[in-house]
Amino acid sequence: MRYHAGNLVFCASIRCYLAVSLILLALIVGCKQPEDPAAPKPQPALGALTFCHGGITNILPLIALKQGYFAEEGLSVTLKDLDGRQAFTGMLQGECNFAVSAEPPIVLADPQRTPFAILATVLDDDNSVRIIARRDQGIAKPEDLKGKRLGVKKGIMSHIFLDLFMIKHGLKHNEVVRVFMEPEAFQPALLNGEIDGFSMSSRMLTNAAHTLGDKAVVFAEPGLFPVHAILTTRLDIPLNLQAAPRVLRALVRAEQYAKSEPAAAKTMVAKSFKLSAQDIEDVWCRTTIKVALANSLFSHLDNQYTWLQEHDEASEAASMPNYLTLVAPEYLRAIRPDSVSDLIP
């Protein structure tokens, strides 16, 4: 068979065109970025939710709200800033759909009376609670607290911290006068001399320290009383049951944002809580911001239940619950399996 030279040139051109087209197609496919599995398509609206929290435990919910992650999950979320005990109680009473609190209110509750579920921890803080005292009342070191009046809210994490702090520094239980009051009364009582100091989370304490200036002394013990910010809900409420996986997806995305854009995340949190640049750096240094379910959480819950029983802060539960049975790990496990301990069934 004979071919005309023009046909050969034409065929060669076609082959060249096809080869170049295939190469370009391969480059386009190769350069296409995979879709972010953590950024789902906007979900149908589910309903309005109230998210109650205690203080700085709000970091991830705040980011999820400000960045629109809740909205993309079809959730209209209102954040309500309370102390941890009020937040958890509000969730049990149905006033809040989700709560973030430390361990004490959880171990004070009876899950047989009002069922609740632990979904995850969203932050760990190893230096959250501190003690502020008045230097002008002769307090310069921990031992100087002997005989002084210290404000504390009964049965919350700052109460436990105060007792552990005293033990560490050789002070007996009756050598400090505990003045039980609500946290909002601490700073006025400290300023007017009604108390000589108080034990509380760092945010409230920081405000008092700024007001007192050189008259204040602050005692910290990193690692003495690690605090877990625990996300809980009532899954017997249909709206909460439907919202739980969406809430966790939004919080996981907020965690990723905090890690990938730390400067922007710090600015957002500092503005919300009215923290200085130094204060927000302190928060970021002492906390682990992560959505997780670690087995160590449950030993902390057991230990705090025991402490409360020994200090006449009786839990509503007649005996120590098996806190592992209160966990609903399937939601976080479906989103990010490696964030759930293998020991959690």
Helices marked H in 109-227? 157-168, 186-191, 202-212
Domain ranges of the chain: 47-125+227-339, 129-219
- Asked if 47-125+227-339 and 129-219 have one fold, the answer is yes
The fold adopted by the segment(s) 47-125+227-339 is D-Maltodextrin-Binding Protein; domain 2 (3.40.190)
Annotate 40-67 with DSSP letters as a single string. PPPPPP-EEEEEEEEGGGGHHHHHHHHT
Are 105 and 85 a contacting pair, CB within 8 Å? yes
pLDDT per residue, tens digit, the chain (345 aa), is 333 434 433 334 434 443 434 333 343 334 333 334 455 666 777 889 999 987 777 899 999 999 999 999 999 999 998 888 899 999 999 999 999 998 888 998 999 999 999 999 999 998 989 999 999 999 999 999 999 999 998 877 888 899 999 999 999 989 999 999 998 899 999 999 999 999 998 777 888 898 999 999 999 999 998 889 999 999 999 999 999 999 999 999 999 999 999 999 999 999 988 888 988 998 999 999 999 999 889 988 998 888 877 776 666 777 888 999 999 999 999 999 999 998 888
Let me know the angle formed at the C-alpha of 200 by 66 and 140, rounded to the nearest 5 degrees: 130
Provide the sign of the torsion angle of the four alpha carbons 293, 200, 127, 274, taken in this order.
positive
Angle, in degrees to the nearest 10, between helices 262-273 and 277-286: 120
CATH class, 129-219 region: alpha beta
Query: Maximum CA pair distance of the chain?
Result: 113
CA dist., res. 199 & res. 181, Å (int):
11
- Threshold 0.85, pTM exceeds: no
CA dist., res. 63 & res. 155, Å (int):
30
Q: Looking at 98-226, which runs of residues are DSSP E strands?
A: 98-101, 117-125, 129-134, 149-152, 177-180, 197-201, 216-219
